[in-house]
Structure 1
């Protein structure tokens, strides 16, 4: 069965079912298993001299292991491949988590903070409504690329092995790809490879958002904002989302009790935000998902 058709089925299955709790309370989610593998490599290799090369070795193990797992699952046929791919996509769960922040804010500011703390790593204790909504929308834009478009893209390119490799590297980056004393050397390879694997998907995500919101004429501004972002990839979907909603994203925020003076994305956009802005972002998530589904169908037909 053609890879594009399998991806269409996986995208639809993920959109319909998301991550059923009844299953993942009984079995470890593949992302959890990947996290355990990264944790084991961290504990085993992130010590002593030559940590940068040990980090390279850890990433090599993840890439080879991920490719092998994907290849073995391929042997079980298209049904298993479709289910496995759907499990590693995150459209429905992303929308649910982001929407929960809007729902929480409509209940109370404190509930909104609690809900957004589940999807961002910044300090949330002192966030007002605008900061909470901004964090949710930024997470929505970035994870649309990382959790939906990128894994789908690599499934199209490399089948299930390509998808599993991407998710393993992305998981490693989220765990060890930090510029801290502990991970600056060991996590270097994971962070750089994740940057490479997300280069095309991040820009494709931004292009889809801009096209669907009538913002292609602002592409030069989106590009300029994206290049000011601290991440070489996350800034692209964030910049496109900011222009689509005519809001300002990013800007200063607190990590571990210290304010980071980050640049604004679409600095001229509206700063006060409300739950309805999160709802609008979620609508864009679904529109972008639908557009990518349509592109995949076109690839299949051609």
Structure 2
């Protein structure tokens, strides 16, 4: 444990997922694969939505933004974590730490509010289908997306400003694999009471508001679906929500486990739970939405056919250039 004066120009050490040298390369290989799969999967979702006219509706509008946010979310954490697996000095400067903390909070909150917007979209589609086009028009969808981004940026800025006012003069070792708020606050010498109060009020409200929207939306959806007379109609209604429900459960389940507890009890188990919503959920989202959604499957198949066709055309053109006229 290193002890130094970190009040002005601190440099933190990220302890990571494991301190054992023999674990570093296997962990690097594992998380490199996870990161590449996350990038590829979410990029394919975005391209499929952009290229298929039948996917130009509010649900897939939000899904496209969610996929982009997931790419950014995991990119804030994974590259630094991968580099640290290969280095002996797992340091991060104070400015980089605050930047990582800020963008982690930004994209995490954007994910949360987009999941709430998608729940509202499903509620309107199932409970008020005749007015769906009017209610979920392009202007309203854009307003929801802009609010999600703007509020997330302001919320994150507040927490980073409160962290920046603290002094650090004891250990500089962060018992985590990235600069999350809770592990950094545990290193502060000055009082963190304001940070804790804000985290338990504004911070919790920023999580609970979208969560409440999701719960209320699905309670209304459940009531509507149970009143549908045919079993086929019920199955169809539930199938449109199943992918979203799985993602919501993964995301909010792991967040609740980590954050709805005292900062002093932040443990190794919390680091493992954090991996679920920071890394694994972003990787699994494309699979969940594509495997359980017929429209998404069709869009991806169209994209695959288009890419295959373009590659075939490029191959023919290249062959013609080599052999000449």
- Tell which has more relative contact order, 1 or 2 (C-alpha 8 A, sep 6+): 2
Same structural fold, with TM-score higher than 0.5 when normalized by the shorter chain = no
Question: Which structure: larger Rg?
Answer: 2
TM-score scaled by structure 2? 0.34
